[in-house]
Amino acid sequence: MSWFQVIVLAVVQGLTEFLPVSSSGHLALLEMVFNVSEGSLFFNVWLHLASVLAVIIVLRVELWQVVRKGRLFLLLVVGTIPGAVAGYWLSDRIDASNGSVIWLVAGFILTAATCFLIDRNFTGRKYEQLSGRGAFLIGVMQALALIPSLSRSAATIYGGKLLKLDRAEAVKFSFLLSVPIILGASAKELISADWSLVSQDMDKMLVAFIICLVVSVLVVAGLLKLLNKISFRYFGYYTVVLALIILFLNYWM
């Protein structure tokens, strides 16, 4: 990959990982546009690690509470199980569908529908009040987001809304739930990765990691501050338009 491609991918990952627009869908789309494949999976995993580090930095107080309070820790474990199991059994099929235009379009449309459903009245429960069953149901929503370009954050925030969480609480739990699932998936890929494919580009990897980390921190912190002023339907409009553009470019250009 060129330096331009590396920087664009790092910025896009940082911008989209925690917004309800699907970072994986955007990365897959850009890789199709840039026509890059060799080492791209490793690169994507690397960028996701930068994003999850951003969550750890911004939500360090909440994460410390999770560590201190055994019940909260168990909620995260229970919420992670569906995605971990689905990812383990379906990883090959998921990887195979990432380059499919139809899957990309379908995932973006589902993301848009989820955003429109999210953008209704929330109630006032805290995520600490979730039951194990509630955490598991949000975990199921996270597992559904293994579909390429279906936003993980949109799916889990909507799951929190269904369980009557406050808007900010649903978003925080979605962010917290991203930590174990991304770390687990990243560890699996890094262990099995062919490091020889990327060893010559470690300078680009380092720069990409730093860029993605900085952008992700700004997005996470900004989103938490602007929650009450943001309408999720605008993300829905964006992903619908993106899906239509992909269809147009693929079938009419």
Please give the pLDDT value at position 91: 67
| Euclidean distance between CA atoms 72 and 86, whole angstroms | 23
| Euclidean distance between CA atoms 165 and 149, whole angstroms | 25
| Euclidean distance between CA atoms 125 and 84, whole angstroms | 26
Average pLDDT of 197-215?
Answer: 85
Please give the pLDDT value at position 44: 82
Please give the pLDDT value at position 94: 63
Please give the pLDDT value at position 185: 81
DSSP for 106-165, please give it.
Answer: HHHHHHHHHHHHHSS----B-GGG--HHHHHHHHHHHHHTTSTT--HHHHHHHHHHHTTB
Please give the pLDDT value at position 97: 54
Axis crossing angle, helix 40-58 with helix 3-16, rounded to the nearest 10: 40
Q: What is the pLDDT of residues 24-55, one digit of tens each?
A: 888 888 887 887 765 566 788 889 899 999 99
Query: Over pLDDT 90: what percentage of the chain?
Result: 46
For the chain, what is the mean pLDDT?
86
pLDDT at 6 over 80: yes
Q: What is the pTM of this model?
A: 0.88
Q: What is the pLDDT of residues 73-117, one digit of tens each?
A: 999 999 999 999 988 787 666 665 556 788 889 999 999 999 998
Please give the pLDDT value at position 196: 62
Place of tokens 């930068």: 50
Maximum Cα–Cα distance across the chain? 56
- CA-wise closest residue to 140 among 130, 131, 149, 152: 152
Average pLDDT of 2-8?
Answer: 90
| Euclidean distance between CA atoms 212 and 10, whole angstroms | 5
